[in-house]
């Protein structure tokens, strides 16, 4: 009896999906790796090192803003699916270092800065909404609250990544504002959100205890990180997964006209452009 109870408790406390959110250089990856040991979860890191647009984006944000955001959106969609697959196959919980939910933060900041047009943002939003509608909500979101000025200091004095060397304080301040709205939306749809003051970092053991408390308490979210039969069907349906990374003809058409006007891609005939973009989307989602 005791063994059965322990086994069920173990499954209940591990088959969950936790997302860690926060500004650039807030400490997400470090905490994720610490919680990996603390909770016995698997960590899926954000795809930054292999980002083919990152250096180009920082050099020419208006030219590459939408292209990079679409690439990141598809990568984060893939990461979320991979996390669900891992849970389904192993029963082990997963921690995501940033997620498809906060991908909106960077897209919105690009829109506000004029790097993504209203038409381009509508294209992005339609694609993201299509993806999110198919996904279960995460079990829990951890938000690392760090002042933008401190993140700026960490970026330039601690991380010292060459591609981030030109990031201004104003950009990080803008991301912080967008994150506030993102967190509000997460709470509205029922995702438990734990706001952590991470100005001086913190103890992973304390955070781990908070995670266990939220998960164990249930709060009507206990099953949200667990892969249901419906989610399993989605994971097994490769054709549907590919279709979720693409959009209907009319949405492509709007984006195409806007991109031509801005001179952001070669002046391909529309049919060729649509075929090229769909092929790119399928390649990105397939990895």
pLDDT in tens, 23-64: 999 999 999 999 999 999 999 987 655 788 888 888 888 888
Catalytic residue among 97, 103, 113, 195: 97
Long-range (24+ apart) CB contacts under 8 A made by 202-207 are 202/31, 204/31, 204/34, 204/35, 204/37, 204/38, 205/38, 207/31, 207/35, 207/38, 207/142
* 234-270 pLDDT, tens digit each: 999 988 888 888 766 555 555 555 554 444 444 444 4
* 91-118 pLDDT, tens digit each: 899 999 999 999 999 999 999 999 998 8
Cut 0.95: pTM above it: no
Q: Which of 51-65, 100-114, 200-214, 216-230 has the lowest mean pLDDT?
A: 216-230
* 154-165 pLDDT, tens digit each: 999 988 787 778
For domain 2-227, give the CATH number.
3.40.50.300
Residue-level pLDDT at 224? 46
Residue-level pLDDT at 261? 43
Spell out the domain ranges in the chain: 2-227
Would residue 97 show up in a list of annotated catalytic residues for this protein?
yes
Residue-level pLDDT at 148? 97
Residue-level pLDDT at 265? 46
Predicted confidence (pLDDT) at residue 75 exceeds the cutoff of 80:
yes
Instruction: Band the pLDDT of 284: cuts 50, 70, 90.
Output: low
d(CA 55, CA 49): 10
């Amino acid at each position: 009896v005791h063994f059965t109870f322990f086994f069920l408790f173990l499954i209940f406390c591990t088959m969950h999906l936790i997302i860690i959110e926060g500004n650039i250089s807030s400490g997400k990856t470090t905490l994720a790796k610490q919680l990996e040991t603390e909770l016995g979860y698997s960590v899926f890191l954000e795809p930054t090192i292999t980002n083919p647009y990152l250096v180009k984006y920082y050099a020419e944000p208006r030219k590459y803003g939408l292209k990079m955001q679409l690439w990141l959106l598809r990568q984060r969609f893939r990461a979320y699916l991979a996390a669900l697959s891992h849970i389904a196959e192993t029963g082990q919980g997963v921690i995501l270092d940033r997620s498809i939910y906060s991908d909106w933060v960077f897209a919105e900041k690009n829109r506000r800065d004029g790097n993504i047009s209203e038409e381009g943002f509508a294209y992005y939003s339609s694609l993201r909404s299509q993806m999110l509608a198919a996904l279960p909500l995460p079990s829990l979101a951890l938000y690392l609250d760090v002042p933008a000025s401190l993140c700026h200091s960490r970026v330039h004095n601690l991380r010292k990544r060459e591609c981030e060397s030109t990031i201004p304080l104003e950009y990080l301040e803008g991301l912080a504002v967008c994150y506030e709205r993102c967190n509000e939306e997460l709470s509205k749809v029922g995702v438990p959100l734990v706001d952590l003051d991470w100005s001086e970092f913190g103890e992973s053991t304390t955070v781990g205890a908070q995670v266990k408390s939220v998960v164990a308490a249930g709060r009507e979210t206990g099953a949200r990180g667990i892969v249901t039969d419906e989610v399993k069907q989605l994971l097994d349906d490769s054709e549907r997964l590919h279709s979720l990374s693409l959009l209907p003809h009319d949405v492509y058409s709007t984006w195409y006209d806007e991109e031509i006007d801005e001179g952001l891609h070669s002046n391909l005939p529309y049919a060729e452009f649509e075929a090229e973009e769909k092929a790119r989307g399928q390649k990105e989602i397939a990895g």
